[in-house]
Chain A
């Protein structure tokens, strides 16, 4: 499962793309929990969102690992 990192998420992980073990993550909520466990600094940014196939995803969305997934920290465009 590949996960794109933007903004602060790239600083926290040190990577622009994470390559995760699919078996530990099957929903968006599990992905968020996995990220917080792997990178405790995410705990401070509870409002980060996950995008799946370029749309904001709810926590209960099921992931099969083939989607385009991205970590979306609080946005600040404009």
Chain B
């Protein structure tokens, strides 16, 4: 069974169907997905939208490293990771991760691992736009 990997950074809206269809596999009995969406409130402040910036070639490389590690750590079949860049509106998907495996446990664990590692290492930056200004998340002194 060849494993399949799909990593994309996109300025167009994401679609869960794309990730789902990529990982769907007749050899697998389970698919786990993590979908990160834009929420209206953060620490009591109202958010109007987000903007994401990526160092794209390095972000793709880092995501490849994470996926390679996930394939080694967990018995998973296919992985699909899409991250949005540019302006992202409330309720839109900022990131979608889908993982398929023969049994469910490996998919759950791999999906959890991938989003945690993505948030730690992948060179993508989120700017929150509030009613009265904007700031880069994690970059306040």
Contacts and interface: CB of A to CB of B under 8 A. Distances in A.
Contacts of A4: 55
B105 interface: no
Interface in A1-44: 4, 6-8, 11, 44
A56 B61 CA distance: 11
Interface residues of A, number: 19
Contacts of B127: 7
Interface residues of B, number: 28
Most buried by B among A11, A70, A76: A76
B55 A51 contact: yes
Contact of B136 (A54, A55, A72, A76): A76
Contacts of A65: none
B55 A78 contact: no
B125 A78 contact: no
Most buried by A among B58, B119, B120, B127: B58
B123 A6 contact: yes
B141 A45 contact: yes
A74 B124 CA distance: 9
A77 B55 contact: no
Given A4-B55, A7-B53, A55-B61, A73 B125 contact: yes
Contacts of B122: 75, 77-78
Given A8-B139, A11-B136, A44-B141, A75 B123 contact: yes
B33 to A, nearest CB: 14
Contacts of A7: 53, 125, 127, 136, 139
